[in-house]
Amino acid sequence: MNQTSLRIGLAGLGRLGRRYAEYLARAVPRARLDAVCSPVADEIDWARETLGTPRLYADYAAMLADTELDAVFLITPTSLHAEQIEQALDAGKHVFCEKPLSLDVPTCLRTVEHAKRYPHLRAMVGFVRHFDASYRAAKSRIEEGGIGRPFMVYSQTADKLDPSGAFVKFAPTSGGLFLDCSVHDIDLARWLLGRPAARRVYAIGTTAMYPELKPMGDVDNGVAVCEFSDGSMAMFHASRTQAHGHDTHTDIVGTAGKLSVGRNPRLDRVEIADAHGVRSLSLPSFFERFEDAFLAQCRHFVDAVLDGQPFDLTLDDAAEATRIATALRQSQQTGQPVDLG
């Protein structure tokens, strides 16, 4: 694009949306946060008072009609993503959307097809771990042949136990544990293994602490295996109940070595020695772990759109992550392996 900055409207100012809004307003050099949109008046007030965002919309369609915007960021509930991406493209905007693209495969495929109508517009679904410095270093080392041929990934997303059980409220709309959490690990495994096609999955789960998830068919801890058609494999663990903190980590095993990312989920480099022994504090949530990566992801999107460079992730990758994650949920609910062709 022949302009120095990208004029952005952001929809969704919840838990994560506010962080994005702060980044786009203050920390992404070539971005201008010119508008925000939320149906919640308090959230709009926050943007006006905290960020001084000039144009404020209660209605998404009204923001899309703003001809002074080049792109939209969607940090809205997952159930809205696919339709809002399509509407943004119809309105002539580039679009960044938080993961996952959708909770069902036909909708993902519909959005992928929709985007093809607009080859001059750019659309990306964010999988933040691609922009984490340690995962990027691991990917580079693999590409340089540092571990030979990678053939196995173990990856887990494990959240700290929230005794309030607040996540249970979102369970009916989040798609369940595998779609909400393992979708990150699925996307990582495909990326680190060179994007092989999935052949078959098997998953099991348990309600270790939240039996109220059972009637919804959901679990608070799950384990899965995935076979890929080139013979490579992945194992996933997802949890809502870790006592110590947020514990996301990944191992990549190759014919000449192994890489591990994030194995020790320590908060910082401080080691505490006292009457209880020697220890570190743990990361409280995904945000502290991936704060820098969220910012890097915003910069990647803005720079790629302005400079006409490719994104690190495609909509097809996002659709494939949902396809595999929904198969994991099906397997966990039926007790049977699921063939993915």
From 51, 70, 73, 78, residue interacting with ligand NAD (rule: CB under 6 A): 78
Round to whole Å and give the CA distance between 206 and 81. 29
Encoded tokens for 176 = 């369940």
By DSSP bridging, strand 150-160 and strand 55-57 are unpaired
For ligand NAD, give the closer residue by CB, 80 or 340. Answer: 80
Nearest C-alpha neighbor of 183 from the set 3, 1, 324: 324
* Shortest separation between residue 252's beta carbon and ligand NAD, angstroms: 20
Least distance (Å) from ligand NAD to the CB of residue 219? 18
Secondary structure of 34-53 in the HEC alphabet?
Answer: EEEECCCHHHHHHHHHHHCC
Rounded to an integer, what distance in angstroms lies between the CA atom of residue 75 and that of residue 102? Answer: 13
- Cα–Cα distance, 34 to 51 (Å, whole number): 10
With respect to ligand NAD, which residue has the nearer C-beta, 124 or 306?
Answer: 124
Q: Which is nearer to ligand NAD, 17 or 222 (CB)?
A: 17
Give the nearest distance from C-beta 27 to ligand NAD in angstroms.
Answer: 17
Binding segment for ligand NAD among 37-45, 236-244, 315-323, 327-335 (CB under 6 A)? 37-45
Q: Give the amino acid at 211.
A: P
User: C-beta of 241: minimal distance to ligand NAD in Å?
Assistant: 17
Nearer of residues 147 and 298 to ligand NAD, judged by Cβ: 298
Looking at the Cβ atoms of 174 and 232, the one nearer to ligand NAD is 174
216 residue type, one letter: M
| Stretch of 11-19, 25-33, 253-261, 331-339 contacting ligand NAD, by CB under 6 A | 11-19
**C-alpha to C-alpha distance for 222 and 180, rounded to whole angstroms:** 12
- At residue 130, the 3 state secondary structure works out as helix
Q: Which is nearer to ligand NAD, 14 or 54 (CB)?
A: 14
Segment lying near ligand NAD (by CB under 6 A), choices 76-84, 201-209, 261-269, 333-341: 76-84
* Nearest-approach distance from CB 135 to ligand NAD, in angstroms: 13
- Cβ atoms of 53 and 76 within 8 Å: the answer is no
Restricted to residues 282-301, the positions that interact with ligand NAD (CB under 6 A) are 286
Full DSSP string of 241-263: EESS----EEEEEETTEEEEES-
Q: Which of 1, 14, 148, 169 binds ligand NAD (CB under 6 A)?
A: 14
State the binding string over 123-142 for ligand NAD (x if CB under 6 A, else -): -----x--------------
Tell me the one-letter amino acid at 44: I
Does residue 194 touch ligand NAD according to CB under 6 A? no
Asked if 94 touches ligand NAD (CB under 6 A), the answer is no
Contact segment (CB under 6 A) with ligand NAD among 73-81, 148-156, 203-211, 270-278 equals: 73-81
- Between the CA of residue 62 and those of 59, 65, 92, 115, what are the distances in Å? 5, 5, 14, 21
Q: Which H or E run includes 184?
A: helix 183-192
Contacting residue, 5, 39, 105, 195, with ligand NAD by CB under 6 A:
39
SS3 115: helix
Distance CA 201, CA 231 (A): 13
Residues near ligand NAD (CB under 6 A) are 11-17, 37-40, 43, 60, 75-78, 80, 98-99, 128, 286
